[in-house]
Each structure stands twice: as C-alpha cells, then as structure tokens.
C-alpha cells in the first residue's frame, strides 16, 4: 500500500527555497508561452506522470521476497511490513514458475530454492496468513502460470472475506520476455497470449484495481541488453499485448490504464535516469498514434524498478550496498512508481534478514534524508539528461520500427531476432570487462585478497521433503471426485474459447493443485521450444 499523502519540505536545512519545475499555473502568470512546455503530470509525461510526484506521495517500497516455505516467507513479509515496507512482492520457486507441483520429478532439487513453493490454495493462504489482502498491494512475479497464481490469490481473498474489487496489486503476466530472455515459458506463443488476454478481460470485469500485466524490461536487461534495447524491446512487447487485447474485443481504455512496466536500474547513473524519461515519452507517443485512447491514463507509463542483480559481485560484497544505493537514487530521479532494492549478499545466496532490512533502509534514507523527494523533477533542465533522453527515445524507436519491418514481435522472436540482439550485447559487455574497458571494483580493479565471509541465508535441505509430504497429505484430504470434475470443466474451457479464469478459480478452490491445472493446459495447448538466437 502507498504511504499517506506527505508534506514535502519547501526549503533546505539552510532555509533556501527548493526551486521546482514550473507548473501550468506559474506559467500562466508569466510571459513564458505554455506551448511546447513539458510539465509533470501532463503529456508526454517526460517529467513524471503525476503533477506533484513524490511531493504528494512517495513511491511504493516493495521488497521482493520468497524462499523455502510459505510459512517462512510469510514471516519475512511481516518483518518487512513491520519495518516500513509499503507493498509486497512475491518470488516463486522454479517449479511453481513452470506450473509444476513440488512432488513432480522435474521439481527435484529446486523446491523452495529461488522462491516460495506454492502447490495449492492451502499454501497460498499460509503465505498471506495474518495479512489483510484488502489493505496491502501485492506484486507477483509469475508469467506462464500467471492465471493460476492470480486465481489462487483471488480464492485466498474470497476466503478472507475480502471483496474482489478492493484487491490491489500486479501480476507480471509477461510471457513474451520469457521467450526472448528468461526462458520460463510452458505453452506455445498463441496459447500463452490467450491466457494473457483472458486475464485482462476477467480482471477488467472482476478485479478492477488489479494491474493485469507488468511488461518486463528487467529480465531483458539482466540477460545482457543495453538500456536502449531494454526500452525498445519492452515497449514493443507492450504494444503487441495491447494489439492482441484489442483484437480479442477489448477497448484500449478497458485495460491500458492497468498495464504497468518493470525496468532494471544499472550503474550508468545518468543513462538510467534518461532511460526512464525516454520510455515514458515514447510510450505516450506509441499509444496515441496507434490506439487514440480517450482516457489519459491509457498512455501513462507506470513502472516498477528493481536495482540490477547482475551488477552485484561476490567479490567484496559490501560494495554492493553502494551500487544499490546509486541505482535506487537514479530510479527515484527517473520517476519510478515503486522500487525494490537488492540486498548486498544476493550474489552469494538468498538475502538474510539483516541484509534485507539494510536494502529497505536504503530506500527510506533516500526518501527521508536526501531531499530528492521534495522536488518534482530534480533533473529537469540538465543538458546532459535532456539530450540523452532524446537520444535513447530516438534509438529505441528505430529498433521498434526494425522489429515491425521484420513482421512484428512474434515473428521476430520465432526467428530469434531479439534473442540474438541480447546475446551480442551481453558478449560485448563480457569482453569489455575482461579487457578492462569497463571497470568493476573488486573484480577487475581494486582487487584484494578475499576474507571468508559468512553471507547468504542457508536453506534447510529438509524443507523440500516437508513440502512434498505436506502436498501428499493435502491430496489425501480433498474430494477426488469433485477435483476431477472441475478439472474436466477446465479442460472443456481450454478446448473452447470461453474465459479460463472462472473454471480455474473453481478447480483451485475445490482442491486442484498448480501442477494439475497446468497439466490440463499442457495436454490441451502443448509445449514449445523458443529459438536461442545463437
């Protein structure tokens, strides 16, 4: 949840006034013409999508968490909420992200390792035990089985007695970047896009405050793209989703106001600030050129930022606190709506309670002590930032045009075009580091003998067996006949054209598992292997 409306500080500690970008009101009282002025809260939103930005309301501090078991992750959630976090962000383990149960043979060794395992409604309810879903905003990083995990979240809210129209949060639901960069897809593109648009349609009618997709550049960037490529590939994917939703019968204003984006933030401080500004302006132009929305919110690019995991080093890991701090600051100066700050020990293992709290405190210090939140757009007028913003926007647009000239996003990913682009950029960065054209402190410069540090959380190796045993007991308690009947209904829906969400929620409430409902979809939809681009 966002913090309450705040009182910004209009002067520095020395009593000097904080000069801000002009407003429409102040411009009207001067001889300066308003034509051509880019103002915060007004199109094309280069300087922010809200008139007052953080002067009125801080970004959501949303730390990503999930590991081991639902119970332990719930404890981490409550620690973060008690420490001042203002939103939840769920990391699911690899089997869950692939729509597998913990007892599947392909899950062996991966249960609870990189996120929390969720097999059933029982697990989801344990994950949010003593957390009122009507009062918290939750982001779920889930893509191929996004419909399944949202269905479980809605079922949990139903059982809590929370009305669906009060639920707030985001489900990533971005399958294109899985084909392009991350690799955690299940179904062929056509069927995956159907699931994406089914979720759009169902949420529009049933969960109106829910953000139905978070189009992700983060994983594209983590895989090795440049900042320009991150903007281009992400916005190209966003336009594709919008086109598919319109083809399915939705109006642009039915879903675009609930679309959000997710970017990484790397070490080139001014390039990252400029990247966010350029992305806002380019999205505004693309949406208005192609769809002519009536609702202004349809063309506002709202985004979450995560500091760059790929920039963290196992060597001299305490240096990562500095990297994360500057990355977080550039995200704030770029106008992010929510932010996750990585923990300094994540290059070594899952973050400890101590390192997670330091990561959260980093955001709180930026918000409370630096003064950057007291000015709408502190970088306004910087020649360097304004020129770089224009350059990123221009080059990203050229890349989008190139993708469209080759048949569009889907045809290009089937050819491996985006994948090759990312691989080439990643290879160049590796070579630049090896040749010391790009310096990384502690890795290829300022190297020193490493002392043994006890960092990273140690996962109890017996938790996987406990999760499997828990799942087995859950299956023994349920009504098998009822489960099979709801799975049959789900299969019929998959084979037809009706929205998949209602029978999916029904099956999960009756006791079907994540693996079982996605097993039905595998049987009907099939699977697919994306070209590598290499």
What is the structure's pLDDT at 4? 43
Helix axes 319-333, 269-291, angle to 10 degrees: 40
Question: How does DSSP classify residue 44?
Answer: T
Q: Name the residue among 240, 423, 441 with its Cα closest to residue 321.
A: 441
Q: How confident is the model at residue 530 (pLDDT cuts 50, 70, 90)?
A: confident
Query: What is the edge-to-edge ordering of all strands in the sheet holding 168-171?
Result: 210-211, 168-171, 137-141, 87-91, 60-65, 338-340, 303-307, 259-265, 213-216
Residue 101 domain flag: yes
In angstroms, the CA 359 to CA 361 distance is 5
- Summarised one tens digit per residue, pLDDT across range 302-346 is 999 999 999 999 999 999 999 999 999 999 999 999 999 999 999
What is the structure's pLDDT at 465? 94
Q: Lowest-pLDDT range, 4-13, 465-474, 492-501?
A: 4-13
Residue 5 domain flag: no
Q: Name the residue among 81, 69, 68, 66 with its Cα closest to residue 131.
A: 81
Q: Name the residue among 124, 162, 133 with its Cα closest to residue 512.
A: 124
Q: Lowest-pLDDT range, 211-215, 458-462, 498-502, 520-524?
A: 458-462
- Summarised one tens digit per residue, pLDDT across range 125-138 is 999 999 999 999 99
Residue 243 domain flag: yes
pLDDT for 27 beyond 70: no
In angstroms, the CA 129 to CA 205 distance is 27
Residue 153 domain flag: yes
| Number of domains, the chain | 1
- Summarised one tens digit per residue, pLDDT across range 44-84 is 999 999 999 999 999 999 878 888 899 999 998 998 899 88
pTM of the model: 0.91
Residue 519 domain flag: no
What is the structure's pLDDT at 430? 95
The whole domain housing 324 covers 37-434
Higher pLDDT, 23 or 27: 23
pLDDT for 513 beyond 80: yes
Residue 274 domain flag: yes
- Summarised one tens digit per residue, pLDDT across range 379-416 is 998 999 999 999 999 999 999 999 999 999 999 999 99
Q: Could you tell me which residues come within 8 angstroms of residue 437 by beta carbon, excluding any fewer than 6 positions away?
A: 431
Q: How confident is the model at residue 452 (pLDDT cuts 50, 70, 90)?
A: low
What is the structure's pLDDT at 33? 38
pLDDT for 22 beyond 70: no
What is the structure's pLDDT at 296? 96
The CATH number that applies at residue 66 is 3.20.20.240
pLDDT for 34 beyond 50: no
What is the structure's pLDDT at 349? 84
Residue 190 domain flag: yes
Residue 447 domain flag: no
């Amino acid at each position: 949840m966002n913090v309450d409306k705040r009182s910004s500080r209009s002067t520095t500690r020395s009593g000097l006034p904080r000069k801000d970008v002009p407003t429409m009101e102040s411009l009207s009282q001067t001889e300066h013409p308003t034509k051509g002025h880019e103002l915060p809260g007004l199109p094309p939103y280069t300087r922010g999508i809200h008139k007052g930005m953080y002067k009125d309301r801080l970004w959501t501090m949303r730390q990503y968490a999930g590991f081991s078991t639902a119970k332990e992750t719930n404890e981490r959630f409550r620690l973060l909420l008690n420490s001042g976090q203002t939103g939840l962000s769920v990391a699911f383990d690899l089997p869950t992200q692939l729509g597998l149960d913990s007892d599947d043979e392909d899950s062996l060794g991966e249960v609870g390792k990189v996120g929390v395992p969720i097999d059933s409604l029982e697990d989801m309810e344990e994950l949010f035990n003593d957390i009122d879903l009507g009062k918290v905003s939750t982001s779920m990083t889930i893509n191929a089985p996004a419909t399944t995990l949202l269905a479980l979240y809605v079922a949990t809210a139903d059982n809590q007695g929370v009305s669906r129209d009060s639920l707030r949060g985001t489900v990533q639901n971005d399958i294109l970047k899985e084909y392009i960069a991350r690799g955690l897809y299940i179904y062929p593109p056509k069927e995956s896009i159907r699931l994406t648009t089914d979720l759009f349609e169902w949420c529009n009618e049933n969960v109106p405050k829910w953000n139905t997709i978070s189009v992700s550049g983060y994983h594209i960037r983590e895989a090795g793209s440049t900042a320009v490529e991150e903007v281009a590939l992400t916005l190209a994917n966003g336009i594709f989703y919008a086109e598919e939703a319109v083809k399915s019968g939705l109006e642009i204003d039915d879903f675009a106001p609930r679309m959000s984006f997710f970017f990484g933030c790397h070490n080139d401080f001014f390039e990252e600030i400029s990247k966010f500004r350029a992305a806002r302006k380019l999205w505004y132009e693309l949406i208005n050129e192609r769809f002519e929305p009536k609702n202004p919110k349809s063309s506002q690019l709202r985004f979450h930022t995560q500091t760059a995991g790929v920039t963290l080093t196992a060597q001299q890991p305490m240096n990562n606190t500095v990297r994360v701090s500057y990355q977080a600051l550039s995200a704030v100066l770029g106008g992010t709506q929510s932010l996750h700050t990585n923990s300094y020990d994540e290059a070594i293992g899952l973050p400890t309670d101590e390192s997670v709290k330091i990561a959260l405190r980093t955001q709180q210090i930026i918000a409370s002590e630096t003064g950057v939140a007291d000015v709408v757009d502190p970088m306004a007028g910087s020649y360097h930032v304004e020129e770089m913003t224009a350059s990123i926007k221009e080059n990203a647009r050229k890349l989008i045009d190139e993708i469209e000239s080759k048949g569009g996003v889907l045809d290009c990913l089937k050819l491996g075009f985006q994948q090759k682009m990312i691989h080439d950029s990643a290879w160049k960065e590796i070579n630049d580091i090896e040749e010391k054209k790009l310096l990384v402190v502690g890795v290829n410069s300022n190297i020193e003998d490493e002392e043994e540090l006890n960092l990273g959380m140690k996962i109890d190796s017996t938790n996987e067996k406990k999760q499997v045993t828990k799942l087995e007991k859950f299956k023994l308690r349920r009504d098998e006949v009822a489960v099979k009947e709801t799975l049959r209904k789900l299969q019929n829906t998959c084979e037809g054209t009706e929205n998949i969400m209602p029978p999916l929620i029904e099956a999960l409430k009756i006791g079907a598992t994540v693996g079982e409902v996605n097993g039905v979809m595998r049987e009907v939809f099939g699977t697919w292997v994306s070209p590598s681009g290499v």
